[in-house]
A and B are shown apart, each in its own frame.
Chain A
């Protein structure tokens, strides 16, 4: 196993696969997460205004996007026995059926602590118009005992 932690430098990029959003994918996430909020089910309800926000149709679950970011991190961490420890996200734009979104990560900093080694990663999700729909930060641990 390569000692990835030592070779990492700020700016290192991590790319995740595209995810095509459809009414079916949103419905599948309702069933998988038990989140049946009408935001994700009911186009008539979504014609109403939410304060100053007007969605105009059903939107993808924020937590489904959170799941795509999680996969970005675990697909990168598992093969090198690193551990995904933290993910913080904010949602910036609604994602709707027909959108194609993709998660990206970029190493921001490394930190060695008394007992372990850590990498902070800036993460974001962009849609097919290259608009940022979610942004956040992650922390991945590279345990010392797992190093070769």
Chain B
């Protein structure tokens, strides 16, 4: 599957929902994503985590994981990989205020990952526009990889 990514987040800014448009409870459109070993390792290098469970297949096979896995926080990548370019998470100026994530099955190289996502809530606090998003990532077997919520401050 060819996976192209628009890195200019201004380009589709006009087509994205602003805070006023966000409907709590409404599902966000998502796209399946095939997680490669290359993408996992690029992510690991960026956060400075070179654990052999992510790099050394021989080592990983002898552990309880039975093979290479991705680090739990790989959902940082999956969030952008599994959402279309007009998703409001990409709005320039979106500020991350907080996150909470629960982990179940590890993501593995070659997994085809799907996302079930929705806005959960929106509110105003200290003149800031907040949205809470609720996300669950699944592997190709329908198993939950991780589930989490994010609190973002929306650009005005």
A residues contacting B by CB (< 8 A) are 17, 19, 25, 28-39, 45, 50-53, 61-64, 66-68, 70-71, 74-75, 78, 81, 83-91, 146
Contact = CB atoms under 8 A, between A and B. Distances in A.
Q: Nearest 3 pairs between A and B by C-beta?
A: A67-B47, A32-B46, A88-B100
B72 A74 contact: yes
Interface of B: 5, 7-10, 39, 42-43, 45-49, 51, 53, 63-64, 71-73, 76-77, 79-81, 90, 92-103, 127-128, 153, 155-156
Contacts of A52: 127
Contact of B47 (A51, A53, A71, A85): A71
Nearest to B49: A71
Contact of B97 (A68, A84, A90): A90
27 contacts: A25-B46, A31-B46, A32-B42, A32-B46, A33-B46, A33-B79, A34-B81, A35-B79, A36-B9, A51-B127, A51-B156, A63-B73, A63-B96, A67-B73, A70-B49, A70-B71, A70-B72, A70-B73, A71-B71, A78-B63, A83-B103, A86-B102, A87-B72, A88-B100, A88-B101, A90-B97, A146-B64
Contacts of A45: 92
Nearest to B149: A88
A36 B49 contact: no
- Name the residue in A28, A37, A53 with the highest tally of chain B Cβ atoms < 10 Å from its Cβ: A37
A85 B97 contact: no
B9 A37 contact: yes
Contacts of B73: 63, 66-67, 70, 87
B127 to A, nearest CB: 6
Contacts, number: 127
Contacts of A33: 43, 46, 76-77, 79-80
Contacts of A89: 98-100
A91 B77 contact: no
B contact face: mostly helix, strand, loop, or mixed: mixed
A88 B77 CA distance: 17
Nearest to A94: B95
A62 B99 contact: yes
Given A38-B92, A50-B93, A88 B48 contact: no
Nearest to A35: B80
B9 A78 contact: no
Given A81-B64, A88-B101, A91-B97, 10 more contacts: A30-B7, A31-B42, A33-B77, A61-B76, A68-B48, A71-B51, A75-B51, A78-B63, A87-B72, A87-B73
